[in-house]
């Protein structure tokens, strides 16, 4: 198959979510012998046209100049570029802006759309942009016959709201097998003597609720926050908790080995995401044997089930911080169960195979329709 992937800033992943999904799907499909083209922003750090067997198209992305509107321009440029190219499948990751331009796609193209999470619910977008994104979601569902839901909760949402079926294909992770306690010296922390949050410092990720709990618990452990704090939300949080001596903002860390070791040796790992589907950060924490406290919602429940603690208030966070003190041998059953989930279900090899099988089904269904039409015309 010849496959194009668009809807991300590009690969290799510099962020998470769809970028990571695009990277691993592309690598998996390429290794299986398929031709894969991924659309990258022109200013992506990777300037190669061929990366690990995956072809890269560099397309102008004015988002750094035009902000949100620039994203619409970038998606338009990607779709315009693939017109006239002979792709069997076009995988569109997300619906924030790409679907607006789907009307310029050729009618005979086999489009597959991964619907992602409930983007329109993010507080940072405001009322007008949220309505625009909700409209884009509606267009994506109406104009695409082949939908992917990366979470059972998202699949149920699409079915109930739009009465349309989707294929469940989750994200994946790789089990972390080489912990090195010496790595912690780089970050000035000690094994099991810190609690951890990794993610965007946005309201939908519950960090303010978590930090209110940290202040109330007043434990001797540090609370480490990894994520870009040079944002409006980040500045607000830093100012609010500036007097809390045990709260430390480390900023963005992109060293995979460092992040994995921080996850592995943390006391409690807090996952506050509320709007996503199968969140890659949650899977990576599971793959690193983190002892997880997750926000109480269906998205997280579908992934981790009973093998975590859950919170819905800052009081819940405070109680868990006081009660849960981890050591080498505590909570082994929970951690083992999460590793089994990654090994048996949420792994990138399985995910790549599921996408390949779905793409082949899409092509078979299209070919069957063509055969039926030819038979009618022959009569």
Mean pLDDT of the chain: 90
What residues does each domain of the chain span? 2-171+347-378, 181-344
CA 302 vs CA 94, 217, 282: distances in Å:
20, 29, 12
In this predicted structure, what is the pLDDT of residue 257?
A: 95
Strand order in the sheet with 111-114: 50-51, 54-59, 35-41, 2-6, 89-93, 111-114, 146-149, 167-168
Question: What gap in Å lies between CA 155 and CA 117, rounded to an integer?
Answer: 10
In this predicted structure, what is the pLDDT of residue 11?
A: 93
How many CA atoms, within 13 angstroms, populate the side-chain half-sphere of residue 118? 16
Q: What is the pLDDT of residues 326-357, one digit of tens each?
A: 987 889 999 999 999 999 999 999 999 999 99
User: How would you class 367 by CB atoms within 10 Å of its CB: exposed for 0-12, middle for 13-18, buried for 19 or more?
Assistant: exposed
Q: What is the pLDDT of residues 203-259, one digit of tens each?
A: 999 999 999 999 999 999 999 999 999 989 999 999 999 999 999 999 999 899 999
Give the number of other CB atoms < 10 A from CB of residue 324: 15
Pick the range with the lowest mean pLDDT from 42-56, 133-147, 243-257: 133-147
Q: What is the pLDDT of residues 260-315, one digit of tens each?
A: 999 999 999 999 999 877 888 999 999 999 999 999 998 999 999 999 999 999 99
Beta-strand relationship, 2-6 and 89-93? parallel
Pick the range with the lowest mean pLDDT from 9-13, 196-200, 246-250: 9-13
Q: Quick one: pLDDT band at residue 98, thresholds 50, 70, 90?
A: low
- Percent of residues in the chain assigned helix, strand, coil, to nearest 5: 50, 15, 35
**Once rounded to an integer, what is the mean pLDDT over residues 6-28?**
87
CA 2 vs CA 19, 280, 360, 363: distances in Å:
20, 26, 11, 11
Question: What gap in Å lies between CA 125 and CA 103, rounded to an integer?
Answer: 25
Q: Quick one: pLDDT band at residue 139, thresholds 50, 70, 90?
A: confident
Q: What percent of the chain has pLDDT over 90?
A: 65
In this predicted structure, what is the pLDDT of residue 305?
A: 94
2-171+347-378 and 181-344 agree in CATH topology = yes
Under CATH, to which class is 181-344 assigned? alpha beta
**Once rounded to an integer, what is the mean pLDDT over residues 136-156?**
89
Q: What is the DSSP letter of 312?
A: S
Q: Could you tell me the CATH superfamily of domain 2-171+347-378? A: Glycogen Phosphorylase B; (3.40.50.2000)
Question: What gap in Å lies between CA 3 and CA 57, rounded to an integer?
Answer: 13
**Once rounded to an integer, what is the mean pLDDT over residues 358-376?**
73
Q: Which residue has the tokens 């599921």?
A: 354
- As beta bridge partners, residue 248 has 224
Give the number of other CB atoms < 10 A from CB of residue 22: 27
Beta-strand relationship, 50-51 and 54-59? antiparallel
């Amino acid at each position: 198959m010849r496959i194009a992937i668009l809807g991300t800033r590009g690969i290799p992943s510099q962020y998470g979510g769809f970028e990571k999904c695009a990277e691993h799907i592309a690598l998996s499909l390429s290794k299986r012998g398929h031709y894969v083209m991924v659309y990258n922003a022109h200013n992506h750090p990777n300037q190669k046209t061929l990366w690990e067997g995956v072809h890269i198209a560099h397309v102008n992305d004015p988002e750094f100049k035009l902000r949100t509107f620039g994203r619409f321009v970038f998606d338009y440029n990607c779709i315009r570029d693939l017109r006239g190219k002979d792709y069997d499948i076009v995988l569109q990751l997300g619906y924030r802006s790409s679907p607006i331009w789907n009307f310029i796609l050729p009618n005979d193209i086999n489009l597959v759309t991964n619907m992602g999470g409930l983007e329109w619910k993010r507080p940072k977008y405001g009322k007008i942009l949220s309505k625009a994104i909700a409209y884009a979601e509606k267009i994506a569902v109406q104009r695409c016959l082949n939908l992917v839901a990366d979470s059972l909760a998202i699949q149920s949402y699409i079915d109930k709201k739009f009465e349309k079926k989707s294929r469940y294909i989750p994200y994946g992770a790789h089990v972390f097998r080489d912990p090195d306690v010496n790595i912690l010296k780089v970050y000035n922390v000690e094994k099991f003597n810190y609690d951890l949050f990794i993610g965007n410092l946005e309201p939908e990720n519950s960090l303010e609720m978590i930090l209110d709990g940290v202040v109330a618990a007043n434990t001797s452990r540090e609370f480490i926050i990894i994520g870009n704090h040079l944002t409006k939300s980040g500045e607000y949080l830093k100012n609010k908790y500036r007097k809390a001596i045990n709260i430390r903002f480390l900023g963005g860390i992109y060293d995979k080995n460092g992040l994995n070791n921080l996850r592995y040796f943390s006391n409690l790992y807090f996952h506050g995401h509320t709007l996503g589907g199968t969140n890659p950060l949650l899977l990576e924490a599971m793959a690193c044997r983190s002892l997880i406290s997750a926000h109480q919602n269906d998205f997280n429940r579908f992934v981790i089930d009973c093998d975590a603690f859950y919170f819905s208030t800052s009081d819940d966070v405070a109680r868990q911080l006081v009660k849960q003190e981890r050591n080498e041998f505590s909570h082994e059953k929970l951690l083992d169960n999460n590793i089994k989930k990654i090994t048996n279900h949420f792994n990138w090899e399985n995910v790549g195979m599921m996408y390949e099988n779905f793409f082949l089904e899409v092509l078979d269904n299209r070919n069957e329709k063509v055969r039926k039409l030819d038979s009618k015309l022959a009569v």
